[in-house]
Amino acid sequence: MSIRWEAVIGLEVHCQLLTREKLFCGCPTTFGGAVNDHTCPICLGFPGVMPVLNGEAVALALTAGLALDCRVRSPSVFARKHYFYPDLPKGYQVTQYEAPILEFGHLAIEVDGASRDIGIRRIHMEEDAGKSIHADSGATLVDLNRAGVPLIEIVSDPDLRSADEAVAYLKALHEIVRFTGVCDGNMEEGSFRCDANVSVRPVGQRTLGTRTELKNMNTFRGVQRAVEYEIARHIQVLEDGGRIDQETRLWDENAGRSRAMRGKEDAHDYRYFPEPDLPPLVVAPDRVEAVRAALPELPRAIRRRLVEDHGLSTYDAAVLTGEPALVRWFDAAVAAHPNAKALCNWLTTELLGRVPVSALAACPVTPERLARLVALIDDQTISGKIAKTIFEKMLLSGETPDAIIDAEGLRQVTDTGAIEATVRAVVAANPAQVAQFRAGKTTVRGFFIGQIMRQSGGKLNPALVNEILDRLLAQATDQET
């Protein structure tokens, strides 16, 4: 009988901090640029240079940690992590080892309607390495533009039990670092990347199994597939009587499998020791509290507010919190006009159907202008149908809804007498359709609505049109009988 297995997963997530300069020098952190152009003697590891810690990076690290309910350690200590690789010019990486700046936090995830907390063991600051480029000729080229770029590594406890939970954790973390402005979250550019430590053990056993580390995952789908594959591989090896080797494995997305890269190093292999050129980092309590006070509203709380305060569905709340810029745009619109449900529909259906989120800031339909359009529908100045025409003109011309309405005479007619006169004229002009209605063909009512709106250019108040039409058709039926 097969043993029932339990997966044990921990994630190590590297986030590039959104600073203008590198961690220990003034070189820019912008993505791209000419090869080896964003470099200087400090990030190239020239002898005799002295690093200077970037205070902006410290503030962003604190922001991430406090958003994840971590404890701030002061002092924290930088260390040298020694290993040889062509894209590591100093022969060591400056990181934090025994005394990270943040530790003992947690992050709530939700999978299949069940919510639970995942522990965060530590968050430490470190510099990034460069990039090795393997040419078709067999040569390896090195671009050191990324060397020295500031990172935080967020290390979870081994609390995750499935690939679904791993992805849920990763997505929740991705949201938080983006909403707090800590990291842009661009996985394609490598500013948010993940390594996964995977092992399995028999259900009920407390001892951890031998783990392997998965690298080369830069999409949520890739993490899902890689972790699922590795869990299945571990179980198959163990059930066949084999053993798991502690090693680092690369995920091959195209092949849909992992392959061995190298034996997994332990801490002593890196010969850590405190960085002699950097003093211990002491963070004053008042600075910690200033960062805590400046924390923005986090995605989970935003979704709760959108549902509880504005009456939106959980689906709409999730859509709006898909991008920080999107929920800010929505909040600005609601501040101008409180019909949250209508504004959400217009934003997610009409506006985002034509304008990508990245272009909202430059869109001529501003939050205030969309709010004004919805307000004009609500006070019956215009109908919903006319509003869509006005909306298209707003996108093309950049004009306000009021200017378009005044220029084209689009204000809705709400005068009962004028509406009744138009309805009576249409009914009188179509006796054949009136006879059909009297005979029980009620679908002909749509014909009358179409004729009325066509004659009025769609300007008549639809509710009043329906009310008056029903009354006149009922009278015509009563007269016949």
Same domain membership, residue 310 and residue 222: no
Cα dist from 302 to 110, 160, 329, 349, 455, whole Å = 16, 25, 13, 20, 46
Domain boundary among 408, 442, 466: 408
Query: What is the number of structural domains in the chain?
Result: 3
Same domain membership, residue 90 and residue 178: yes
Which residue would you say has higher pLDDT here, 426 or 339? 339
479 pLDDT band, cuts 50/70/90, is low
Same domain membership, residue 423 and residue 392: no
Same domain membership, residue 368 and residue 435: no
E strand segments, 40-130: 71-72, 78-82, 92-96, 102-111, 114-127
Q: What is the DSSP string of 314-359?
A: HHHHHHHTTSHHHHHHHHHHHHH---HHHHHHIIIIIITTTS-GGG
Least confident of 87-91, 113-117, 390-394, 452-456: 452-456
Q: What's the whole-number mean pLDDT along residues 404-424?
A: 82
Q: What percent of the chain has pLDDT over 90?
A: 72
**CB atoms < 10 A from the CB of 113, how many?**
5
What phi, psi does 412 have (nearest 5°)? -70, 140
412 pLDDT band, cuts 50/70/90, is confident
> What pLDDT is stored for residue 78 in this prediction?
97
pLDDT at 1 over 60: no
300/53 Cα distance (integer angstroms) = 33
DSSP designation for 360: G
Same domain membership, residue 396 and residue 476: no
- Residue 443 belongs to domain with CATH number: 1.10.10.410
Q: What percent of the chain has pLDDT over 70?
A: 98
Same domain membership, residue 394 and residue 266: no
Same domain membership, residue 388 and residue 423: no
> What pLDDT is stored for residue 219 in this prediction?
92
461 pLDDT band, cuts 50/70/90, is confident
Domain boundary among 287, 322, 357: 287
Give the tens place of pLDDT for each residue, 21-55. 999 999 999 988 899 999 999 999 999 999 999 99
pLDDT at 276 over 90: yes
Range of the domain at 127: 5-287
Same domain membership, residue 308 and residue 266: no
Same domain membership, residue 253 and residue 143: yes
> What pLDDT is stored for residue 267 in this prediction?
59
Same domain membership, residue 283 and residue 303: no
- The reply to whether 292 falls in a domain is no
Give the tens place of pLDDT for each residue, 223-232. 999 999 999 9
- The reply to whether 94 falls in a domain is yes
Top-ranked range on mean pLDDT: pick from 158-162, 358-362, 436-440:
158-162
Q: What is the CA radius of gyration of the chain?
A: 31
**CB atoms < 10 A from the CB of 368, how many?**
14
Q: What's the whole-number mean pLDDT along residues 253-262?
A: 89
| Mean predicted lDDT score pLDDT of the chain | 91
- The reply to whether 400 falls in a domain is yes
- The reply to whether 25 falls in a domain is yes
161/197 Cα distance (integer angstroms) = 12
- The reply to whether 85 falls in a domain is yes
Give the tens place of pLDDT for each residue, 183-215. 999 998 889 999 999 999 999 999 999 999 998
Residue 73: is it exposed, middle or buried by C-beta count within 10 angstroms (0-12/13-18/19+)? buried
Q: What is the DSSP string of 163-196?
A: HHHHHHHHHHHHHHHHHTTS----TTTTSEEEEE
Compute, in degrees rounded to 10, the torsion defined by CA atoms 104, 107, 112, 115: 70
- The reply to whether 466 falls in a domain is yes
Q: What's the whole-number mean pLDDT along residues 282-308?
A: 96
- The reply to whether 179 falls in a domain is yes
pLDDT at 250 over 60: yes
Q: What's the whole-number mean pLDDT along residues 467-481?
A: 77
The residue type at 68: L
Least confident of 108-122, 271-285, 438-452: 438-452
Least confident of 260-274, 325-339, 403-417: 260-274
Same domain membership, residue 322 and residue 202: no
Distance, CA of 438 to chain centre: 57
Q: What's the whole-number mean pLDDT along residues 437-454?
A: 85
331/434 Cα distance (integer angstroms) = 49
Q: What's the whole-number mean pLDDT along residues 237-249?
A: 93
**CB atoms < 10 A from the CB of 379, how many?**
10
Q: Which residue has 């040419």 as its token pair?
A: 135
422 pLDDT band, cuts 50/70/90, is confident
The residue type at 292: R
- The reply to whether 214 falls in a domain is yes
Domain boundary among 354, 377, 408: 408
Q: What's the whole-number mean pLDDT along residues 434-440?
A: 84
Q: What's the whole-number mean pLDDT along residues 413-418?
A: 77
> What pLDDT is stored for residue 428 in this prediction?
86
266 pLDDT band, cuts 50/70/90, is low
Contact 144, 107 (CB under 8 A): no
> What pLDDT is stored for residue 2 in this prediction?
57
| Bond from prior residue into 75 cis (ω within 30 degrees of 0) | yes
Same domain membership, residue 223 and residue 244: yes
Q: Which residues pair with 16 in a beta bridge?
A: 151
The tally of CA atoms less than 13 A away on the side-chain side of residue 468 is: 23
Contact 99, 77 (CB under 8 A): yes
363 pLDDT band, cuts 50/70/90, is very high
Distance from the first to the final alpha carbon of the chain = 82
Give the tens place of pLDDT for each residue, 376-388. 999 888 888 889 9
Which residue would you say has higher pLDDT here, 135 or 367? 367
449 pLDDT band, cuts 50/70/90, is confident
